[in-house]
Amino acid sequence: MEMKICISLILLMIGLVSTTNISSNVTYLFPDNTCYLSSKPSHTNTSSLYVFGYNGRPISEDCQTISLHSADATLDKYRLCITPESFIDPNCSVTVEFRFSDTVMVFNCNTSELDTFCTNEETELTIKTMVVEGYQNANFTITVQNAISEIHTENFVTDSGRIVGIAVGGTVGVIVIGLVCFIYIRGKNSRNDYAYHSSNS
């Protein structure tokens, strides 16, 4: 029983160390969770992938637009990279507009290039999805990733120190828990052996 508890603790510590930097997806589906998001730009981070989707629904005007910002609290420089994963619009009823700096890019049924493109550094990206009659069979998936374009040296040192600290601390924690479990189990076995020999004498 004690061995199972020790193994569980060690596995838990290893899991905590290994999941400190795992990326996650943030999903926005037009119009389900995009209403009233144009007024407050969402700040992005490099550990998340932002997924924008649409599945043949009417979109009211207050649910058409969402804004993202590529900057965070550090002095690093970031840009947002947009990848159209899929765009199906048999009735030419959907238009997706990307605005950043002085650039406007439009995706619709006539768009032949679906390559990844990136914004300028530290800009706000606005994504607007508009539909007209015939949208029922249309759908798209677009991903946005916050990419570091320039690392500020002080931040890099701080982040590296943090990662090394987590790795070293987690490793030491696993070793300490393993030693404590080993000593406890060995001591218990020694007491059991002593009790067994005493009862046989």
Question: In what side-by-side order are the strands of the sheet with 48-55?
Answer: 24-30, 48-55, 139-150, 77-88, 117-118
Dihedral over Cα of 37, 100, 149, 122: its sign:
negative
Based on the domain organization, do 30 and 101 belong to the same domain?
Answer: yes
CATH number, position 103: 2.60.120.290
Question: Which carries the bigger pLDDT value, residue 75 or residue 9?
Answer: 75
Q: What is the pLDDT of residue 18?
A: 46
Q: Which range, of 103-107, 116-120, 195-199, averages the lowest pLDDT?
A: 195-199
Q: Does residue 181 share a domain with residue 111?
A: no
Say if residue 104 is in the same domain as residue 164: no
The tokens 């193994």 sit on which residue?
7
| Pick from 62, 101, 96: nearest CA to 80 | 101
**Same domain, yes or no, for 80 and 96?**
yes
User: Would you place residue 191 in the very low, low, confident or very high pLDDT band (cuts 50, 70, 90)?
Assistant: low
The domain in which residue 41 lies consists of 23-151
Note whether 169 and 125 are same-domain residues.
Answer: no
**In terms of domains, do 85 and 11 share one?**
no
Domain boundary among 151, 175, 192: 151
127 and 44 in a common domain: yes
Cis preceding linkage at 31, omega within 30:
yes
- The string of pLDDT tens digits covering residues 136-160 is 999 999 999 988 765 544 544 455 5
Tokens (6 digits) for 5: 């508890």
Looking at the fold, whether 60 and 27 belong to one and the same domain comes out as yes
What confidence tens digit (pLDDT) does each residue in 49-107 have? 999 999 999 999 999 999 988 766 566 778 899 999 999 999 999 999 999 988 999 99
- The candidate with the shortest Cα–Cα distance to 136, out of 54, 51, 65, is 54
Pair 31, 68 in one domain: yes
* Residue pair 66/54 in contact by the 8 Å Cβ criterion: no
- Residues 147, 122 share a domain: yes
- 161 and 110 within one domain: no
Structural domains counted in the chain: 2
Considering the domain architecture, whether residues 124 and 146 belong to the same structural domain is answered as: yes
